[in-house]
Structure 1
Amino acid sequence: MATINFYLDKPDKKGLSPIHLRINCNGNQVKLATGQKIKSKNFNKTKQRATGTSYETREINHYLNFLNERADEILHHSNKKVFDKNEVKTLLNEHIENYKENNNVNLVKEQISLYGKPITFVDLFAGAGGFSEGFLQAEHNNKFYDFIVANDINENCELTHVVRYNHQLGLDAKFLTQDITEPDFLDNLLEKIDGKTIDVVCGGPPCQSFSLAGKRKKFDKKDDLFSHYLEVIKVLQPKYFVMENVKGILTKEGGKIKELIINEINSIIDINEIPLLITFIKKNKTESNSFIYDCLIKKVELEKLLEKDKDSGREEYINFIDNRFRKITPKIADYKTSKTDVNINTIRHGFKLLSRTKQWDKLKRDIIREKDYCNIYSDDFADAFTDFLTEISPEKIISRIETSFKSLKIPETFKKDCNDIITALKIYATSFDESIDILKSSCNTSQKKELNSILEKIRLYKIEKPFVANASNYGVPQNRERVLFIGCRKDQKFISEIPSTVSENEKVTIFEALYDLDFIGNNQEAHRYELVDISKQYNGTAKKMASLLKKRSIDGKPISKGGKSYSEWSKNGRLIERFQPKTKPFYVKNSEALEAGEKYFDLLNNHKTSNQSKTVIKRLDVILKNGSYKDAQFELDKCGLTSNKRNYNVLKPDEQSPTVMTIPDDYIHYNTPRALTVREMARLQSFDDSFVFQGKRSTGGNNRKTEVPQYTLVGNAVPPLLARAVASEILKNIK
């Protein structure tokens, strides 16, 4: 058993003593200079650590602990059991040099354009940064991307972003950790953007956030994220925006959700063209449609208001309708009835409720947050909360007002006035497109033709249908189908699809992605690469396995000259020259550790296997040998190894993986009965090895609702190579 300790050498002229690492093993001794110096009075020889509580002390002790861990790992936890002195020195010196070279990081305060034209982008619902990473890998005709702001709600997303983009790459990209539904979100986002024009916005609101207007909902935290995403688009008005989601969104609610999304995108209008539409409405206003047309004008004018002014604009709209109702109330009911009738009161109070939309929205957000915190779902409380939240929605309030109007005995003379009020309320609650449909219904043929011509000019974005993209078509070793809604501003070239970069028989295989990481066993962590000898590891199938390895271009296309294998691309990195790392990758446990300088500079990160029991390993081995969970059921039953788990995906080395999710136990390594490491899952997603996932490795139970550990960061991400293909296509077309 080797002993590892630290000692001080003779002090230099400044009185600082170098700290050395010493290893004793079976009479042999290895000594290494750590590169750190300290005054002898500040070093506890018994504990072999610096004394005091200063930042410098904590940093030195973290570094010595780091070296102690790595030395212990090499000597006591390595697959290799025998080392000579020079090997140990070489391996530890790699860690020492890595740490010394990179521990002092200077943040770049401003991204100066060194060459070409930067295209600015913002990444919403950014997670780990799959979109961001892919965008920084793209360039075309001297055009590249300038990363301005990313946003997500979770602190570990921010930590991963700060380490990768601010510390490691030296960019000044900001991060906004805030829920997009918060009232001041847009103000805070604009503050981060700091007056810059944004060319591209990307992001993927979770699929749970898509609901049909007026439909009874679950009312969880993810409701309405899509509409808030579009609010950002309306304010920033980028040249292009990309919205990513699961394929199931196309068939959700029988395809109605897809149509809703397209209609909402088409409802984003160019505020500079609003006067054209208002002029048309005023020109065609008559005595009979005067009130409805005035409401349509007010609705259109709402579109040009800044977010901070919209609440007062909505209140003004409702007050305009309320005044109309006040004028006709004496004509449809006597004084006593107007004060006591439940229907009249419902209408009157409904207007008051609608005029307080801002206050009710805040209350709704607070209730949903508390409901989520208290896990109110699938219980006797859930329906009551859902009923209340449904009741305060504008759609439900308007529905009750309409029912009350129908319950009144209204003289025939005033029925049109009352119907007009109901129509005006529906205009208030509908999208721009639905309001235009109401306008069209009162237009003749020539008026409709003129209106359609105006709409062509007033619609800010062009989109016909979403595009289904399979990540494996873009050099990602994974069959991950995602839907992309690409909004193209009317002054930009239309993009309807993203061309594949590889053909069916050129796709990257799992073996290409993972083979060089296959040197790790159960409950082990590797911090450096080890040589994988395919001929020894695969014996009779070595030739077949080696034939899977191909030289490729960055986007996966096989090439004969100048290419790299997928694993080489992963190790060397895919970022364009402008964004090459300023420091080596490092890991921190949390934000406090980053502040304290407790960084782990390793040659390989996030490569740790789970501590699986002998029973689990036997179960995985049976499944692996049978080729699938289904085919293994008989043998599992026979051996008493059955599991309640619904499925295991056995990875096939010569194929692409199924969609990478957030639970590592869902996958069985193609060569060893074990789950995948974070780094292996990241490889299947096409993240470079230099991209370090920060914070906790995994979590469970209720913590999954609030925490975003490494596995979740990886599984929820957009594959960077897919994002790169999208970003490249935009660069080719953007004006």
Structure 2
Amino acid sequence: MTTLKKLKFCDVFAGCGGLSLGLLEAGHEGIFAIEKSPLAFETLRFNLIEGATHQFAWPDWLPKQAMTCEDLLSNYPEKISELKGQIDLIVGGPPCQGFSTAGRRDPADPRNKMTEQYLSLVGLLQPRFLAIENVAGFNMRFEGTGGVAEELASAGKTSYAKFVAGKLEALDYHVYPGLVNCADFGVPQTRHRYLMICEKKGSFPKHSSLLQMLHENRHAFLSSKGLQAGHHVTTREAISDLEVEGKRLIPNQDSGISGFLEVEYIPPTAPTPFQKLMRKGSKNSAPNSRRLARHKVETKEYFKHIQSICRPGYSLSESERQLVGTKKHATTVLDRTRPAPTITTLPDDILHYSEPRILTVRENARLQSFPDWFAFQGKYTTGGKQRKLECPRYTQVGNAVPPLVGEAIGELLAERMSEIQSYSVLQEVADQNNYYLEEATSM
């Protein structure tokens, strides 16, 4: 029986740390993380890099501050090269706006270039495993000419995902790509993501499909979390203890702005299995980020109108938009009996299933499977020109990889590493036996 070695990982384009949190919960060791937003990095630092529950084994030479992947490669190339062979896993979801089906899907979007910086880091560190997470549109065919589209066409690739896969194969990796629905891994949200799980080629046998292995492990993973494999967690099962009705309102203290309220949190006496999982490690303390929006009376009436005519769980149809007098396409009222739709970075995209209001940051975090002890930092929202520059709490949550998905990936890679170690031990024993046999026959 071999002893499983923890995978040492670095997280690139880490955001507030959803993927890192999942890997740490799976028992792996964080070395460093790269995130350009100071607000998102502060949440990552507070909870995981120097947290009460988890701490990274951060290198002395690397400042614990926000930076880009380009900054890392430009300022510390020698130090990064020295880490070759010491990093087992690189994870990262490069910014997805250039690929998102919700946007223009512009192949020349400069944010798509960040994937190439990720690949440069892979070339320097050459880890055993890679995990790239992106929106489903990452694998959709690009239209148009110029920029990346021209390079894709010349390479015979029909999507950026295939282009990236080709680059990784050239770096000597097996690539296992495919779509996953986060709801299948206990996340109370129908969030379809494109995963590329990659493994460095070696002397051990190639796996048939690591992504298929991830799906096959799903039942055991959910069972270990106290969740049912045949049942998707619903929105009500996720956030019913955070409802406002019948609760006492108290001043919000964690946003630094007066005049906001939050619900006094009392831990449920009969939590759902998912709530029990999210409350683990919190004892009786209240989660942060529960600030309620200050809706005007007419706004609440407008929300009630939407709730009265819409189909819960679906974006407003054209006829429904005409009835309520809005051109906004993305408005959706939660269906309490099903998982939420994809949580975005815009707070007013989703309305509560029974209360005339948008969700709190904490409710969005629950729908992303962040545990209650995980405390988001910084401002709640931003607006105007700053919206493209800052990453407040709502944006941090919306951009994150659900931690439960990250943990499932972490457990998969731990199992695969154990298989590789076992094969290596068996191969070593076989080689020794062959050596002794050859010695004996030559005498």
Interval of TM-score (by shorter of Structure 1 and Structure 2): 0.7 to 0.9
Q: Does 1:569 align with 2:277?
A: yes
Give the corresponding residue for 1:449.
Answer: none
Structure 1 counterpart of 2:33, from 129, 133, 150: 150
Which one of 141, 160, 171 corresponds to residue 55 of structure 2? 171
Residues 9 and 29 in structure 2, CA contact (< 8 A), matched pair in contact too: yes
2:354 alignment partner in structure 1: 671
**Amino acid of the residue matched to residue 276 of structure 2?**
E
Q: Equivalents in 2 of 1:571, 1:192: separation in Å?
A: 41
From the superposition, tell whether residues 168 and 525 of structure 1 become closer, same or farther in structure 2 (CA, over 3 Å).
Answer: farther
Among 103, 128, 131, which residue is 2:16 paired with?
128
Structure 1 contact 121–199 (Cα < 8 Å) conserved: yes
Cα offsets for 1:458-507 (capped at 9, x unmatched): xx2112x5111100000000000000111111126532332133677411
CA distance in 2, matches of 1:124, 1:603: 31
Q: Structure 1 residues 626 and 721, CA, compared in 2 at 3 Å: closer, same or farther? A: same
List per-residue Cα deviations over 1:45-90 (Å, max 9, x = no partner).
Answer: xxxxxxxxxxxxxxxxxxxxxxxxxxxxxxxxxxxxxxxxxxxxxx
Tell me which of 222, 227, 246 is aligned to 2:135. Answer: 246
Show the 5 A alignment for 1:96-495: 117-138=5-26, 144-165=27-48, 166-169=50-53, 171-174=55-58, 175=64, 177-182=66-71, 184-185=73-74, 187=76, 190=79, 197-208=86-97, 221-253=110-142, 255-268=158-171, 460-463=172-175, 465-491=176-202, 494=207, 495=210
- Helix, strand or coil at the partner of 2:405: helix
CA apart distance, 1:683: 0.2
- Counterpart of 2:366 in 1: which secondary structure? helix
Classify 1:605/1:183 alpha carbon distance in 2 versus 1 (closer, same or farther; 3 Å).
closer
> Does structure 2 retain, via aligned residues, the 8 Å contact 1:124–1:150?
yes
Local SS of the residue matching 1:462? strand
Question: Of 223, 237, 241, which residue of structure 2 is paired with 1:512?
Answer: 237
Task: Specify whether residues 626 and 193 from structure 1 end up closer, same or farther in structure 2 by C-alpha distance, changes over 3 A only.
Answer: farther
Match of 1:710 in 2: 393
Deviation at 1:656, TM superposition (A): 0.6
Q: Deviations over 1:668-717 (max 9, x none)?
A: 11110110000000000000011111000011121011100000000000
1:88-129 deviation line (CA, Å, top 9, x unaligned): xxxxxxxxxxxxxxxxxxxxxxxxxxx963220111000010
Instruction: Tell me, yes or no, if structure 1 residue 654 matches structure 2 residue 337.
Output: yes
Q: How does 1:528-547 map to 2 (within 5 A)?
A: 528-530=264-266
- Does the 8 A contact of 2:16 with 2:397 survive in 1? yes
Q: Is the 8 A contact 1:622 1:632 kept in 2?
A: no
Q: Distance in 2 between matches of 1:172 and 1:467?
A: 30
Structure 2 letter corresponding to 1:245: N
Q: Number of residues paired by the alignment?
A: 363
- 2: CA distance, partners of 1:615 / 1:158: 37
Spell out, residue by residue over 1:546-602, the C-alpha distance to the aligned partner (whole angstroms, 9 max, x if none).
9xx75xxxxxxxxxxxxxx111111114xxxxxxx9xx99xxxxxxxxxxxxxxxx7
How far 1:249 moved relative to its partner?
1.5
Distance 1:265 1:195, change over 3 A: closer
Q: What SS does the aligned partner of 2:287 have? A: coil
> Is the contact between residue 570 and residue 688 of structure 1 (CA under 8 Å) also seen in structure 2?
yes
AA aligned to 1:529 is: Y
Q: Write the letter of the residue equivalent to 1:130.
A: G
Report deviation, 1:635. 9.7
Report how far residue 236 of structure 1 moved.
0.7
| Cα shift at 1:525 | 3.3
Deviation of 1:256 after TM superposition, in Å, equals: 3.2
CA contact (8 A) 1:176 1:189 kept: no
Alpha-carbon contact 2:321-2:327 (below 8 Å) kept = no
Q: Distance in 2 between matches of 1:193 and 1:642?
A: 60
> 2:267 and 2:56 mapped to 1: Cα distance?
37
Q: Match of 2:188, SS?
A: coil
Aligned to 2:297: 614
Q: Distance in 2 between matches of 1:461 and 1:722?
A: 22
Q: Distance in 2 between matches of 1:249 and 1:653?
A: 30
Name the CA shift for 1:188/1:569 in 2 (closer, same or farther; >3 Å): farther
SS of the counterpart of 1:177? coil
Structure 1 residues 209 and 661: CA distance shift in structure 2, 3 A: closer
Contact 2:235-2:367 within 8 A present in 1 as well? yes
Q: 1:129 & 1:527 partners in 2: Cα distance? A: 26
Query: 1:252 deviation in Å?
Result: 2.9
Give 5+ residue unaligned stretches, structure 2.
59-63, 100-105, 144-157, 223-227, 250-258, 421-443
Deviation at 1:627, TM superposition (A): 3.3
Q: Percent identity?
A: 30
Which residue of structure 2 lines up, in the alignment, with residue 440 of structure 1? none
TM-score w.r.t. the length of structure 1 is 0.46
Secondary structure of 1:506's counterpart equals: coil
RMSD: 3.2
> 8 Å contact 2:92–2:131 — kept in the other structure?
yes
In structure 2, do the counterparts of structure 1 residues 473 and 649 end up closer, same or farther at CA, with 3 Å as the change threshold?
same
SS of match in other structure, 1:136: helix
TM-fit CA distance, 1:609: 1.2
Secondary structure at the aligned position of 2:86 is classed as coil
In the alignment, the residues of structure 1 paired with residue 78 and residue 133 of structure 2 have an alpha-carbon distance, to the nearest angstrom, of: 20
Gapped regions of structure 1 (runs ≥ 5): 1-114, 139-143, 211-216, 269-459, 534-545, 551-564, 574-580, 586-601
Q: Which residue, 702, 706, 724 being the options, matches 2:407?
A: 724
Alpha-carbon distance in 1 for matches of 2:389, 2:363: 24
Relative to structure 1, the CA distance from residue 531 to residue 717 in structure 2 (aligned partners, 3 Å threshold; closer, same or farther) is: closer
Q: Secondary structure at the match of 2:400?
A: coil
Tell me the secondary structure at the aligned position of residue 412 of structure 2: helix
Q: Which of 262, 287, 292 in structure 2 is aligned with 1:526?
A: 262
Secondary structure in structure 1 of the residue aligned to 2:211: coil
The reply on whether 1:603 has 2:286 as its aligned counterpart is yes
* Larger RCO (CA under 8 A, 6+ residues apart): 2
Shift of 1:205: 0.9
| AA in 2 matched with 1:566 | F
Task: Call closer, same or farther: CA 1:496–1:223 in 2, change over 3 Å.
Answer: closer
Q: Give the superposition deviation at 1:185.
A: 3.8
- Secondary structure at 2:6 match in 1: strand
How far does the alpha carbon of each residue in 1:200-249 deviate from its partner, in whole angstroms, 9 at most, with x for none? 11001123567xxxxxx786541411111011111111110000111111
Task: Classify 1:230/1:195 alpha carbon distance in 2 versus 1 (closer, same or farther; 3 Å).
Answer: closer
Q: Distance in 2 between matches of 1:218 and 1:462?
A: 25
Q: Tell me how far apart the structure 1 counterparts of residues 38 and 45 of structure 2 sit (CA, whole Å).
A: 10
Deviation (angstroms), 1:648: 1.2
Rounded to whole Å, the distance in 2 between the matches of 1:617 and 1:475 is 32
Q: CA deviation at 1:196?
A: 7.1
Q: Which has the higher helix share?
A: 1
Compared CA separation, residues 666 and 221, structure 1 to 2 (3 A) = same
- Deviation per CA, 1:609-638: give whole Å up to 9, x if none: 11111121111111112233647956974x
Judged with a 3 Å threshold, the aligned counterparts in structure 2 of structure 1 residues 123 and 186 are, in CA distance, closer, same or farther, namely farther
User: 1-side partners of 2:320 and 2:141: how far apart?
Assistant: 36
Instruction: Give the distance between the partners of 1:189 and 1:643, measured in 2 at CA.
Output: 55
Q: Taking structure 1 as reference, are residues 123 and 189 closer, same or farther at Cα in structure 2, changes over 3 Å only?
A: farther
Larger radius of gyration: 1
